Amino acid sequence: MIILGFIWEQSLNKTLLASAICLSLGGVLASVYLAVVSPKQMYSHETIDQALQAQAQMELSDNQLAILPHTTSHRVEPGSNSYLALREAQIDRGDVLKILESSKEVYDLSRIRAKVVFMVAWQDEAEQSASAVMFHLAPTTRLLIQKVDSEWQAEMIELPVSAPSRTFVGVVQQSLWDSAANAGMDPQLISDLAQIFAWQIDFSREVRSGDRWRITVEELFADNRPIGWGNILAAEYVNAGESFSAVRFPQTGDDASYYAPDGSSLKRMFLKSPVRFGRISSRFKRRRFHPILKRNIPHNGVDYAARTGTPVRSVGKGKVIKAGRYGGSGIMVRLRHNSVYQTAYLHLSKIARGVSRGKTVKQGQIIGYVGQTGLATGPHLHFSFYENGRFVDPLGRKFPSKDPVSKKLLPEYLQVAEQSLRTLPQWPPESSAKIARQN
Ligand SMILES: [Zn+2]
């Protein structure tokens, strides 16, 4: 994320200042901000000075708000359009037409969505004559249209985003999701965490009660309001007593990956699981009583119980050698990863678009969706892993690491890693006690 990288380098004060100027008070202050940049704008220097003093104090109280011109806030109602919305905000018809005309070059207001909020700044308390309109197009994007020397001018504003870090820590009792809920954490972040360790841990099969995790993550703010989560900067997951750590580090430009504390990559040739979350229903076994065929046959793979429609991912980069309906296997995709390894995904409800024989798929690419086609008693994914043409259980196999941090960057990385890992929160005391007993 370029914007974050940029802001990250500024001092926190500067970032707060910029966001306070541009955002807190909506349209008017954004205008003030622009006025500071280009002095020919409409607001007086007095107003700007006062606003700047307010920012300097880092607290924008209601009193300070009162010194600014009158503003009102509105919303585009469902079924309405930009013209109607502006008219309903009591803006003069002539001005509305000019506002729509002047914004054409920077943003097409005819495609505005319902529920978009916009603010109107008025030249006077009586709200007779509008002087600026600002649409909140996205959490960090504003369209500002204002009257400058009796001409309406439009421009897009990208709000500065600040990204202070937050930490979370959890212990698994029932499930990974419960641990996130108990930690008061957005479930999206537990999903991101699982993504980071997708090569180390099969979160469908290997999560155990007593597992614990901790993360340091960027919380994004714009307009002094939280707008979502940025990147996880450091993470640790302790799975059945084995600890895995990850540090986010950009090797080149914007490309950042996760590395172990020693600089080796967390990426492996194969993901641990073709289903991001699910529940293991039947493990790899040489023999098993088949519920439909009513006899013992080897179970050549791993069953993942998951709802119909759950995305199925390719565990590794490969070439599609089968994609279609194959009797008892139902709808199936089979991939060849190299001369040694192949994988197959059975009982799919459908194959993902663009996946057909001869095509190449990337690691983690969605190749189909869970179903119960062929011989299956319920929706699940049957996943087979072949080594030199023989079924093997991928669980517990360790594949070599991909690209580590380069030798040149390693000293820098080791410093970053040490600092980053130090930001992780303390383990809760009860989980530490559990570790002590285990050792
Ligand atoms: Zn199966």
Tokens found for residue 192: 């991101």
Cα of 301 from ligand 1 centre, angstroms? 6
Cα of 398 from ligand 1 centre, angstroms? 23
Cα of 282 from ligand 1 centre, angstroms? 7
CATH architecture of 2-158: Roll (3.10)
pLDDT (0 to 100) of residue 184: 93
CATH 3.10.450.350 residue ranges of the chain are: 2-158, 165-268+405-438
Q: How far is CA 156 from CA 23, 78, 145, 207, 421, in A?
A: 14, 24, 9, 47, 39
- Domain 279-391 grouped into CATH 3.40.50.970: no
Question: Helix or strand or coil: residue 361?
Answer: strand
Nearest to 26 by CA among 60, 76, 63, 77: 60
CATH 2.70.70.10 residue ranges of the chain are: 279-391
pLDDT (0 to 100) of residue 297: 55
pLDDT (0 to 100) of residue 246: 97
Cα of 307 from ligand 1 centre, angstroms? 15
In angstroms, the CA 67 to CA 87 distance is: 27
In angstroms, the CA 135 to CA 137 distance is: 6
Main-chain phi, psi angles of 109, to 5 degrees: -70, -10
Cα of 401 from ligand 1 centre, angstroms? 29
pLDDT (0 to 100) of residue 6: 30
Asked whether the CA dihedral 284, 287, 289, 291 is positive or negative, the reply is: positive
Tokens found for residue 316: 């590794």
End-to-end CA distance of the chain: 41
Q: What is the pLDDT along the chain (439 residues), one digit of tens a residue?
A: 333 333 332 333 333 333 333 333 343 434 333 333 333 334 433 443 444 444 333 333 333 333 356 778 899 999 999 999 999 999 999 999 999 999 998 999 988 989 998 988 888 777 788 888 989 898 888 898 988 888 999 999 888 889 999 999 999 998 888 899 999 999 889 989 999 999 999 888 888 999 999 999 999 998 778 889 999 999 999 999 999 999 999 886 657 899 999 999 999 999 989 998 754 444 444 445 555 555 555 677 888 888 899 999 999 999 999 999 999 999 999 999 999 999 999 999 999 999 999 999 999 999 999 999 998 889 999 999 999 988 887 766 778 777 899 999 999 999 999 999 999 999 988 655 454 433 3
Cα of 198 from ligand 1 centre, angstroms? 22
Cα of 303 from ligand 1 centre, angstroms? 5
Cα of 382 from ligand 1 centre, angstroms? 4
Q: Name the residue with tokens 């990250």.
A: 8
CATH of 165-268+405-438, one of 3.10.450.350, 3.40.980.10, 3.30.750.200, 3.30.565.10: 3.10.450.350
pLDDT (0 to 100) of residue 21: 32
Q: 389: which strand partners? A: none
Main-chain phi, psi angles of 64, to 5 degrees: -70, -35
Cα of 346 from ligand 1 centre, angstroms? 8
Cα of 317 from ligand 1 centre, angstroms? 23
